[in-house]
Homo-oligomer: A and B are copies of this chain.
Amino acid sequence: MLNRVRSAVAHLVSSGGAPPPRPKSPDLSNAPSAQPAVPPEAPRSPPARAGSGSSAPAKTVEARASFSRPTFLQLSPGGLRRADDHAGRAVQSPPDTGRRLPWSTGYAEVINAGKSRHNEDQACCEVVYVEGRRSVSGVPREPSRGQGLCFYYWGLFDGHAGGGAAEMASRLLHRHIREQLKDLSCWSSQKEVTHESLVVGAIENAFQFMDEQMAQERRGHQVEGGCCALVVVYLLGKVYVANAGDSRAIIVRNGEIIPMSREFTPETERQRLQLLGFLKPELLGGEFTHLEFPRRIQPKELGQRMLYRDQNMTGWAYKKIELEDLRFPLVCGEGKKARVMATIGVTRGLGDHNLKVCSSTLPIKPFLSCFPEVRVYDLTQYEHCPDDVLVLGTDGLWDVTSDCEVAATVDRVLSAYEPNDPSRYTALAQALVLGARGTPRDRGWRLPNNKLGSGDDISVFVIPLGGPGSYS
């Protein structure tokens, strides 16, 4: 079955993209080579993607969506072409004009080295006004600006198997959050329910509604693929960091690193996935086993004792091999090669409603969660200086850069600028992206230490926590 699943995987991402350096989209590393890898200079015809229904309308959407970059980059058609060039991989940032992103936020991005035809990352940065909703008791309340509130919003969306989900999320997720936050105006203190827990609940529910909207719109072939989502909301003195996927956020404060997210992968979510397979065996379609083994079991090993882990275990123990254990494991592979159902390497995010194990109708979506983990950071509990920043990056950054290396770059770059120079945060974002991308050398993009740089899309926000114009 191994080959069948891998063929299925190859089919899923057929006709476009070289094998990804860190594929969250299906793993091609051992797939049959019937589909030639497309070098960076390949023709620009958008690839047909699995999960988008008939390919014609999907192609139209893909062609439109995949060329879009965040509006705050203000790219001209020529700039858009340069941003889309896999050979040059020019780092993109908002133009250095008087009009800056809120809080003088820094941003930089670069396209992948040929992993997919277009940059499948998307980003959004907005100030959002929330009007109050009618009160809970049913008595209508006249909306007025006095009853509303504002939140600051940053989002990074790392797409896979197409750019549609990331593009849609970057346009709409903050609107879902706005909609959910309207209920805040109805809040009056109740047992256990704090203001903070309502904001967390609003963000959690917004992710769910966004995912449901994608499910509905896919029927009109509007959305293909899926995306990780890493979102920051600033509201009333608190920073909420919501993560669903394998992007990462850290705060660097006075040189200290404060993790603000964790990654959701088949390895970190093994027990959740196995529990689901155990409680709902029909989701495994008779093709997979929820048990984990250190290696694939051979039929001749039936009846022998073998190490295994189930959904309750963090350690390993022995069991006697039975017929069911010969099935393909629900979770397999290690590190960046870990996969659910031999297909996908990230276990939370938005979209992926059509993702299936190929040569099979078995859907993978039931194992994926659209719910983020939300961490809260109280900005008022500490006096921040202009060098204290919140760094958000897609996995393109973190695959080749440690938290400590990011902190060192924060220190190096910011100390080279005046504390009140608002361009320092963009310079820092650019330095982080460049440091992860490397330079073209020795048949690849390489870092100064000659290790491979990231061939993935890389996107970085640098949000100053005590800089000029912060939370004004």
Contacts and interface: CB of A to CB of B under 8 A. Distances in A.
A316 B193 contact: yes
Contacts of A313: 200-201, 204-205, 371
Copies per assembly:
2
Contacts of A186: 305, 318
Contacts of A275: 275
Given A279-B276, A304-B136, A315 B203 contact: yes
A418 interface: no
Interface residues of A, number: 44
Given A190-B294, A276-B279, A279-B276, A316 B369 contact: no
A314 interface: yes
Contacts of A192: 294, 334
A304 B201 contact: no
A279 B275 CA distance: 10
A193 to B, nearest CB: 5
Contacts of A208: 312
A197 B180 CA distance: 44
Given A294-B190, A294-B192, A304-B138, A314 B279 contact: no
A137 B318 CA distance: 12
Interface string A344-380: 0000000000000000000000000101011000000
Given A276-B279, A279-B279, A371 B317 contact: no
B315 A204 contact: yes
A313 B304 CA distance: 42
A279 B279 CA distance: 7
A307 interface: yes
B180 A317 contact: yes
A191 interface: yes
A309 interface: yes
A280 interface: yes
A202 interface: yes
A200 B305 CA distance: 18
Interface in A297-331: 304-307, 309, 312-318
A101 interface: no
A271 B245 CA distance: 20
Interface string A391-427: 0000000000000000000000000000000000000
B183 A315 contact: no
Given A183-B317, A202-B315, 4 more contacts: A136-B304, A138-B304, A180-B317, A201-B317
30 contacts: A136-B304, A136-B318, A137-B304, A180-B317, A183-B305, A183-B318, A190-B294, A191-B295, A192-B294, A192-B334, A197-B314, A198-B307, A198-B317, A199-B315, A200-B314, A201-B309, A201-B314, A201-B315, A201-B316, A201-B317, A202-B317, A204-B312, A204-B313, A204-B315, A204-B317, A205-B317, A312-B371, A314-B373, A314-B374, A315-B374
Interface of A: 136-138, 180, 183, 186, 190-193, 196-205, 208, 275-276, 279-280, 294-295, 304-307, 309, 312-318, 334, 369, 371, 373-374
